[in-house]
A and B are shown apart, each in its own frame.
Chain A
Amino acid sequence: MTPTILIITNSGDLHADLVVTNLTEKGVTPFRINLNEFPRDFVLEYASDSDGWSATLTHTPSVSTLILNTVTAIWTRKTSEFAFPSGDQFSTQEKTYAKEETQHVLNSLLYSLDCYWMNHPLAVRSALWKGEQALRATKMGFKTPPSLITNRPEAVVEFKGRVNHDIVLKAMSTSTLAAEKMEDGEQVVVRGLSTTIVTDDMMDSVESVQEIPCYFQAYTDKQFELRVTVIGNHVFAAKIDSQASEKTKVDLRDYSAEIDYEAHTLPPEVEQRCREFVHSYNLQYGAMDIIVTPEGEYVFLENNPAGQFLFVEQLVPEFTMIDTLANCLIAGTP
């Protein structure tokens, strides 16, 4: 059967650009929906009755049409704001309704498809919650850092004393602290929150924990860190020498640092645990962050079901993640 692949993302997604190129070189031209052009640049017709349903989606600029019930694989990469022909002139209520209605239409359409999903949005949604991730990881045999989620200031003081080590503060939902949703000039914090060691000076403000629940972890000493990317059944573990630069010692997400990335061979049981962790949510893709301690223990931090992988492949070229992902989409199997 000829594969019909649907990619849903936005027009600025370099990951999708490269996977599209790879698929095209293999003779498979995917249909791509850039949500920042949807529904403005598409014509949709979805009809159903007691005999079943049919739907077509035409990208008007390229005049290419997708018959939706022929789709064999979907890659849901990234989302975006929608675009409407007269969106700039919508009232606030129209704009709000337009977004909600379009999302509902899109979900109705896509959730009707019985095909290979990387990843199904419902699986992504169930896999996002970091508190639950840590519990699941522990049950599956990973070590996890002692953690505290609380809005009780005294609990933070007690936790810091109990772990007898540095503690870090993390944002659970978004490290940008919602800056991207603010009007220009409204941001009080522009660059968000890195994983931050809580100093004694910061503890002077601990009463303010009662305003919004906070997520604390015992700081885990590191030998190095791993970005483990699971694609179908394939596992790519990149060793990140985060301790080689002051910029990346506590939080490796400073991509200006010239630290080394290289392929790392996981112990077989850890590799299988990573695969099973991602699959336990019915995900076909996950990007996991793991610490390896000076004692050689593997400590789970989090899994990103919609995480980035291109930066890893660029720094560890033998990781053929683009090709692997494309092959999974073509085969419609892990």
Chain B
Amino acid sequence: MENVKSFTFKVAKATESTEEVKVREGVAVAGCSRAQIPGTPIWDFRYRGTGGNTWPYNTDDGWWC
């Protein structure tokens, strides 16, 4: 498997889908969602991470500080 050494990344690469996934109508960005956010203003917040990457920020993951 190109570029990855660890089992976790090998499994993730083997199962990663490139299909665009949108959260269902009327549902906020939810726990750990990897879905894309519909592009209306209320849903359109994307966290801009330290590396300049965009990502839905408000997930179940992580701690407050």
Which A positions have Cβ atoms within 8 angstroms of B?
A: 8, 10-15, 76-81, 103, 106-107, 119, 121, 124-125, 128, 169, 171, 173-177, 179-184, 186-194, 196, 198, 201-202, 205-206, 208-209, 211-212, 214, 227, 253-258, 287, 304-308, 310-311, 314-315
Contacts and interface: CB of A to CB of B under 8 A. Distances in A.
25 contacts: A10-B47, A10-B57, A15-B58, A107-B65, A124-B64, A173-B61, A176-B61, A180-B49, A180-B53, A183-B51, A187-B53, A191-B34, A196-B12, A209-B6, A212-B6, A253-B32, A254-B21, A255-B23, A255-B24, A257-B24, A258-B24, A307-B60, A308-B30, A308-B31, A311-B30
A187 B53 CA distance: 9
Nearest to A153: B7
Contact of A211 (B5, B14, B48, B49): B5
Contacts of B13: 188-189
Interface of B: 1, 3-17, 21-24, 26-35, 42, 45-53, 55, 57-65
Which 5 pairs from chain A and chain B are nearest by CB? A12-B45, A311-B30, A180-B55, A211-B6, A180-B49
B28 A183 contact: no
Contact of A311 (B4, B5, B27, B57): B27
B27 A119 contact: no
Given A121-B64, A205-B1, A211-B7, A314 B28 contact: yes
A307 B7 contact: no
A93 B10 CA distance: 34
Contacts of B21: 254, 256
Contacts of A106: 65
Most buried by A among B17, B33, B35, B51: B51
Contacts of B7: 169, 202, 205-206, 208-209, 211-212, 214
B51 A191 contact: no
Contacts of B9: 177, 188-189
A256 B65 contact: no
B29 to A, nearest CB: 7
A14 B23 CA distance: 15
Given A181-B51, A196-B15, A256-B35, 9 more contacts: A15-B28, A80-B57, A121-B63, A184-B53, A191-B16, A193-B8, A214-B8, A306-B60, A311-B29
Contact of A198 (B1, B11, B35, B62): B11
Nearest to A14: B28
Contact of B16 (A107, A190, A315): A190
Contacts of A8: 64
Contacts of A308: 28-31, 58-60
B4 to A, nearest CB: 6
A304 B31 contact: yes
B14 A202 contact: yes
B50 A181 contact: yes
Contacts of A307: 31, 60
B55 A311 contact: no
Nearest to B59: A308
B42 to A, nearest CB: 7
A227 B32 CA distance: 13
